[in-house]
Amino acid sequence: MAGLSRRTLLTSAAAGLGAATLAAPSVVRAATDSATIGWNTDVPSWDPNQRFVPDAQSIFKAVYDQPLDQDPKLKLVPHLIKTWALAPDGLSLAVELRDDVAFHNGDKMTSADFRWTFFERIKAGHKIDIAQSWRKVTDIETPSATKAVMRFNSPAPTAPAWLAFLGSYMVPKAYMEKVGLEGFNAKPVGSGPYKLVEYQMNARIILERNEQYWGPKAPLKRITIEVIKDQTARVAAVQSGQVDLTAGVPVRETTRLGKLAGLAGELNPITRIILLQVRNDMGFADPNIRLAAHHAIDKAALSRAFYAGAAVPLSVPGVPGSPGYLEDFHFAYDPKLAMQLLAKSGYGPKKPARIRMATTNGTFASDYDIARAIVQMWKKVGIEAELEVIEYAKYFELNRGNKLPESTLYSFDNATGDPEIYAGYLLNPKLPFSPWKDPVFGEKVIALFNVADEKARIAGWRALNKEAVEIGACMPLLQSVQTLVRKKALDYTRYGNGWVLPQTMRWS
Amino acid sequence: MPLLTALGRRLLVVVPILAVVSMLLFTALRILPVDPAAMSVPPNATKAEIEVARRQMGLDRPLPEQYGIWLGHVLRGDFGRSIHLRRPVTELIGESLPATIELAACAMLVAGVLGLAGGLLLFALRDRAMEAVAETGTTLLMSIPEFLWALLFIFVFGVLLQAMPFTGRIDPALRLPLVTGFLLLDALLVGRPDILVSALQHMVLPATALGIAFAPPIMRVLRASLLDVYHEDYITQARLRGLSPARVLLAHALRNAALPTLTLMGVQFGFLFGGSLLVEVIYSYPGMGNLMVDAVRNADLPVIQAVGLTYCVVVLAINSVVDGLYLVLNPRLRAR
Amino acid sequence: MSRLPRWLRSGRVIAGLLVVGLILACALLAPLLAPHDPDEQNLLSTLLPASWQDGGDPAYWLGTDSLGRDVLSRLLFGARVAMTVALTASFGAMLIGAALAWLAGYLGGWTDWLIGRAVDVWMSFPPVILSLILMTGLGTGEQNVILAIILVDWTRFCRVLRAEVLVVARRDYVAAARLVGFSHWRTITREVVPATIPLLVTLLSLEMGIAVVVEAILSFVGLGVRPDQIAWGQAIADGREAIYQAPYSLLAPVAAIFITVAGFNLLGDGLRRTLDVRMVEGRE
């Protein structure tokens, strides 16, 4: 609390007196040169290739660089890679790297590091998640220190998108080979706008500006990230001024905190979607029941009740503005139609169709409430759903054993916005996400992974998105919102995928 | 010497109990409908990769052999790795056990002080009209379990008055000085009064919530013991000698009534230690209770086994210490 | 008219019986008393404060929860789970605990030793920890909560009762019964059991209060009754999230648990005094 009043005093003094800030320049500089962030998760490890954790990406992006980047509107933009060209057959990707990039230890970044990160590490059997995203890579040729060609065993049209996605961070070959994996974890070296200067697992990360950064320098010299896993504790921390910015607080708390003096609360729609993952058999074998279940859900009411109306109701698995989104396709909320569909199959409120539904509790904002609200909406039209609570980690284990219930409330993060990483992942029977195992539809999904032509590919996914919803294989609900509370004076750049990057933060 | 023999006998009881407990824990949790091997691999692993993990974890061997291997590791202080958190379980327990012991000890202090005050008050009210009211009061107090106190305190002191912090062990802006893991002690060791103050502030609500729930039985036993003691001859004599009532109470009666009260507090400490689980969850206090609840929700078998066993060891240790204290304080028993 | 038995003249017993009777009536008559369908959601009016507060709605006396359900109605229906668990679980624990105590105390020898050691092993687990571990294995559901409470709490009966049986079994009339040639069964049922009934009734009443608390604890951490069942522990877990907006959705179930447990404790306390039962003090 002392911190808040002191800082508000100082900043308001600075604003009110203008030139009079000269009175105590050193104090003001100390306050405006650093920021403290309350974040909900720690990095899974400092090896950025190792595990896919969406919430850790903002931290990784401060210390490491990705080959390609996304602008705030999620367009792919050059980063470590200056130019790139995907072959028409989709079987190779030629890239040209910058020649002015140095890692934090002074080593120059070259194509050897690129080959190491995306090919040699995987071949060496390192246990890293990017081994899955780059499994198509058969080799990476390095004709010069700045040029490289990735070769694939099947068309990889989303390879550029993946170069800016989860886990694709450039790591230094020479340093990693010298100190080993354990050594790297203990003293990580990247090429990003910040260097790691202090780390306490599950508690605190302290970053300091990389003064030799090749790109635009970060405005703030020092960033402290407090790992606060409990959302109530994050609320308390930002309210008392212990942290300057925090994300992932309950929606209602965000609205309440936003009304306090000196604080701003934001509900930002992001590329994460909330949907029901469904099975094609058991109680959902009958398409009438599936479609009735979908028509019975009042998505606008869910958004109003749990997201202050900020979450956009969805009809396809994709968010507005992303290439796979269909502006003119709406799946109606229509309980009467739902009852007619159920009646066709002989069900109704008196004789309900029985299914099961799984949900997480606390994995994302209001998940358990949304699930219980849907159960109630279904009950009104004649679908009796038995609800069970599962942990997020259990989803994959259950799906692998074919033991998921008919419907599961699920949230899926896709920072790229690419339709393949929405519908393609959510509905591909060969990937661990989809409980929909119908082989006919599955073939269509898998076939689209191999379309190299960009226009045909996007058109294909758009058609598939519509079909998936029309046959009841997919029940998109809402575009997720990121809740964020910050001191009004601390601004940052909003990204469509929810990144909150330390290098964009500045005091006003 | 008789004390040592008694403690030795106690050890003879404790070791077989622990053996049986560990066996029960191990078998009971192996029957669970979860597959630890499948849960330890990344989501996109293949069936073959799961089988490899199963062999690496030794889950393909017969149950008695698995138990033997596990016990061997445990005796060397190795509880395996957490499936969910991917860290050595021993490390997790090493971080959280001191926090829980600290909470339980502070709560016991609260319970003791409240119990003493309440017991004396009840005793002072004996044979008065207020007695029935006071006693009904203790019955009602006993009807509020620690987790309701915890919620009420959060509501009153955290939300309504906004006077007290109610999450975690320490202000997030301060860094934990990790020496022993006992935060209050560490703050003194490194000479940081700011940390000590913050840690104490964070301790007040959870320790009081836990302590206040265990105070009423102490009040009652103290009152009952005092009543018993007052029937004894030496009290009558002391009164006849003209000692002031306060002197009689404090110098003679209380000392003799202390034994049953202390015994009860020992028993209570074991219960209180288990009761800390809910208080930890409610206050996001990073101790064994939170570790346990997280592990249960994620079906993290190595952690559940280790935490379950640790709770048992602590409870048995407390009981043994109480038995020892009892022997020290009551020489008559030693003769037997 | 014969006079009322002594235990029915105790103020505590009467108060306890009244409270317990009231809660039981709420549970039985919940469908008649509840002003709303307890499952009916109103997503347009979530987290309403109580009717006398600013922004309250007279249709919802105690306000609504995060799904717009009536807090009062859910409170009344929640009494059903609480009372079912309290009554069945404590009877179950009593049956097992008492049966083993009678056997141990009466037969002595290795039976007593074995049962005594089993109690030791059980007692080395804090009860909350043991019930959590059991629920992990059993899975959620009302029956499993009852089963877990029985499996944890039979020792409370066994431990206290065994000491009492030891005393009773040594009494002259029991020895006499044995000498006359009564079978073990007959001696236990005719002589030993009746002598321990007062203690048993007292313990039973206290155990019911404990069962209410344990059910609430398990439901609170999400390991109790099924998610679609209405239980006070779940209401507390939901209400905790909305503590700033709708405090009554948290305070009402807290009060309900307190009142119910106090009822059972007053009853047990009154019985203990009037039936002159000696007992070790202690919680849990």
Q: What percent of chain A has pLDDT over 70?
A: 94
Q: How many CB pairs under 8 A join B and C?
A: 133
Alpha carbon of B90: minimum distance to chain A alpha carbons (Å): 16
Crossing angle of helices B63-75 and B2-30, rounded to 10° = 140
| Smallest CA–CA distance from C244 into chain A, residue | A253
Question: Would you say the pTM of this structure is higher than 0.90?
Answer: no
Nearest of A204, A61, A163 to residue A501 by alpha carbon = A61
Res. A31 pLDDT band, cuts 50 70 90: low
Res. A286 pLDDT band, cuts 50 70 90: very high
Q: How many CB pairs under 8 A join A and C?
A: 47
Predicted pLDDT at B190: 86
Which residues on neighbouring strands pair with residue A225, listed in sequence order?
A: A37, A205
| Residue C91 contacts B where some CB pair is shorter than 8 Å | no
Cβ atoms of A284 and A406 within 8 Å: the answer is yes
Interface confidence, given as ipTM, is 0.89
| Residue A398 contacts C where some CB pair is shorter than 8 Å | no
Contacts of C12 in chain B (CB under 8 A): 136, 139
- The string of pLDDT tens digits covering residues A180-191 is 988 999 999 999
What gap in Å lies between CA B108 and CA B265, rounded to an integer? 8
Q: Which CATH architecture has domain A270-481?
A: Roll (3.10)
Contacts of B34 in chain A (CB under 8 A): 394, 397
Tell me the Cα Rg of chain A.
24
Contacts of A228 in chain B (CB under 8 A): 172
- The answer to whether B17 contacts C121, with C-beta atoms less than 8 Å apart, is yes
- The string of pLDDT tens digits covering residues C91-104 is 999 999 999 998 88
Interface residues of chain C, partner chain A, Cβ below 8 Å: 39-41, 43-44, 46-47, 66-68, 140, 222, 226-228, 241-242, 244-245
| Smallest CA–CA distance from A392 into chain B, residue | B298
Predicted pLDDT at C180: 80
| Residue C172 contacts B where some CB pair is shorter than 8 Å | no
- The answer to whether C213 contacts B145, with C-beta atoms less than 8 Å apart, is yes
Residue type, A111: S
Nearest to C67 among A253, A373, A387 (CB): A373
The yes-or-no verdict on residue C248 having pLDDT over 70 is yes
The yes-or-no verdict on residue A351 having pLDDT over 70 is yes
- The answer to whether C43 contacts A387, with C-beta atoms less than 8 Å apart, is no
- The answer to whether C227 contacts A304, with C-beta atoms less than 8 Å apart, is no
The yes-or-no verdict on residue A501 having pLDDT over 90 is yes
Nearest to C241 among A250, A373, A375 (CB): A250
| Residue A431 contacts B where some CB pair is shorter than 8 Å | yes
- The answer to whether B84 contacts A226, with C-beta atoms less than 8 Å apart, is no
Contacts of A431 in chain B (CB under 8 A): 44
The yes-or-no verdict on residue C60 having pLDDT over 80 is yes
- Residue A496: partners with Cβ closer than 8 Å, 6 or more residues away: A72, A73, A74, A270, A271, A321, A417
The yes-or-no verdict on residue C158 having pLDDT over 70 is yes
The residue with greater pLDDT, B38 or B201, is: B201
The yes-or-no verdict on residue A500 having pLDDT over 80 is yes
| Smallest CA–CA distance from C117 into chain B, residue | B17
Predicted pLDDT at C225: 92
- The string of pLDDT tens digits covering residues B256-270 is 788 888 888 887 888
Predicted pLDDT at B1: 57
Q: Mean of the per-residue pLDDT values for chain C?
A: 88
The yes-or-no verdict on residue C223 having pLDDT over 60 is yes
- The answer to whether A243 contacts B172, with C-beta atoms less than 8 Å apart, is yes
The residue with greater pLDDT, C243 or B41, is: C243
Which residues on neighbouring strands pair with residue A474, listed in sequence order?
A: A277
The stretch A198-209 carries a mean pLDDT of 88
The yes-or-no verdict on residue B111 having pLDDT over 80 is yes
| Residue A386 contacts C where some CB pair is shorter than 8 Å | yes
- Reading phi first (left if > 0) and then psi (alpha if -120 to 50, else beta), residue A386 is in beta
The yes-or-no verdict on residue C78 having pLDDT over 90 is yes
Predicted pLDDT at A30: 47
Predicted pLDDT at B44: 64
Contacts of C220 in chain B (CB under 8 A): 147, 278
| Residue A147 contacts C where some CB pair is shorter than 8 Å | no
Greatest pairwise CA separation for chain B in angstroms: 88
Alpha carbon of A303: minimum distance to chain C alpha carbons (Å): 10
Predicted pLDDT at A23: 34
| Smallest CA–CA distance from C39 into chain A, residue | A376
- The string of pLDDT tens digits covering residues A214-250 is 999 999 999 999 888 878 778 888 988 889 999 988 8
Give A9: exposed, middle or buried? Use CB within 10 Å, 0-12, 13-18, 19+. Answer: exposed
| Smallest CA–CA distance from B177 into chain A, residue | A200
The stretch C173-200 carries a mean pLDDT of 81
Predicted pLDDT at B43: 65
Contacts of C242 in chain A (CB under 8 A): 252
Interface residues of chain B, partner chain A, Cβ below 8 Å: 34-35, 38-39, 42-44, 47, 50, 84, 165-168, 171-173, 175-176, 284, 297-299
Contacts of A368 in chain C (CB under 8 A): 227
The yes-or-no verdict on residue B335 having pLDDT over 60 is no
Contacts of A433 in chain B (CB under 8 A): 43
CA-CA distances (angstroms) from residue A53 to A60, A302, A418, A503?
10, 27, 18, 20
* H helical segments located in chain B: 2-30, 36-40, 47-56, 63-75, 89-124, 130-142, 146-153, 183-189, 193-229, 233-240, 245-247, 254-282, 288-297, 301-329, 331-335
- The answer to whether C125 contacts B274, with C-beta atoms less than 8 Å apart, is yes
Nearest to A204 among B34, B175, B299 (CB): B175
* C6-283 under CATH 1.10.1740.10, yes or no: no
The stretch A131-144 carries a mean pLDDT of 93
Alpha carbon of C133: minimum distance to chain B alpha carbons (Å): 7
Predicted pLDDT at B39: 72
To 5 degrees, how large is the angle CA B78–CA B80–CA B86? 130
Domain boundaries in chain C? 6-283
- The string of pLDDT tens digits covering residues A295-310 is 999 999 999 999 989 9
Highest mean pLDDT pick, A97-101, B7-11, B55-59, C157-161: A97-101
User: What are A251's two structure tokens?
Assistant: 């929606």
| Sequential DSSP letters for C117-156 | HHHHHHHTS-HHHHHHHHHHHH-SSHHHHHHHHHHHHHHH
The yes-or-no verdict on residue A122 having pLDDT over 80 is yes
Contacts of C245 in chain A (CB under 8 A): 252, 256
Mutation pick from A135, A205, A400, A434 vs chain B, by most beta carbons of B within 10 Å, is A400
- The answer to whether C44 contacts A301, with C-beta atoms less than 8 Å apart, is yes
How remote is the C-alpha of C57 from its chain's centroid? 35
Predicted pLDDT at A8: 38
Alpha carbon of C213: minimum distance to chain B alpha carbons (Å): 7
* CATH fold group of domain B91-301: MetI-like fold (1.10.3720)
Highest mean pLDDT pick, A37-41, A191-195, B66-70: A191-195
Contacts of A226 in chain B (CB under 8 A): 172-173
Contacts of B271 in chain C (CB under 8 A): 126-127, 282-284
- The answer to whether B315 contacts C124, with C-beta atoms less than 8 Å apart, is yes
| Residue C213 contacts B where some CB pair is shorter than 8 Å | yes
Alpha carbon of B114: minimum distance to chain C alpha carbons (Å): 16
The yes-or-no verdict on residue C169 having pLDDT over 90 is no
Mutation pick from A255, A368, A386, A409 vs chain C, by most beta carbons of C within 10 Å, is A368
- The answer to whether C227 contacts A372, with C-beta atoms less than 8 Å apart, is yes
Which residues on neighbouring strands pair with residue A357, listed in sequence order?
A: A387, A407
* H helical segments located in A33-149: 57-63, 111-115, 121-123, 130-133
End-to-end CA distance of chain A: 21
The yes-or-no verdict on residue B31 having pLDDT over 50 is yes
Q: Mean of the per-residue pLDDT values for chain B?
A: 84
| Smallest CA–CA distance from C10 into chain B, residue | B132
- The answer to whether B315 contacts C126, with C-beta atoms less than 8 Å apart, is yes
Cβ atoms of C93 and C146 within 8 Å: the answer is no
- The string of pLDDT tens digits covering residues A374-414 is 999 999 999 999 999 988 878 888 888 888 999 999 999 99
Q: Mean of the per-residue pLDDT values for chain A?
A: 90
Kindly compute the dihedral angle of the four CA atoms of residues A169, A170, A173, A175, in this order, to the nearest 10 degrees: -80
The stretch B191-214 carries a mean pLDDT of 92
The yes-or-no verdict on residue A38 having pLDDT over 60 is yes
What gap in Å lies between CA B89 and CA C264, rounded to an integer? 41
Nearest to C137 among B13, B28, B152 (CB): B28
- The answer to whether B172 contacts A226, with C-beta atoms less than 8 Å apart, is yes
The stretch B61-83 carries a mean pLDDT of 87
- The string of pLDDT tens digits covering residues A404-436 is 999 999 999 998 999 999 999 999 998 888 999
The stretch A3-15 carries a mean pLDDT of 37
The yes-or-no verdict on residue A21 having pLDDT over 70 is no
Predicted pLDDT at A14: 36
Place of tokens 């009904």: B136
- The answer to whether A305 contacts C244, with C-beta atoms less than 8 Å apart, is no
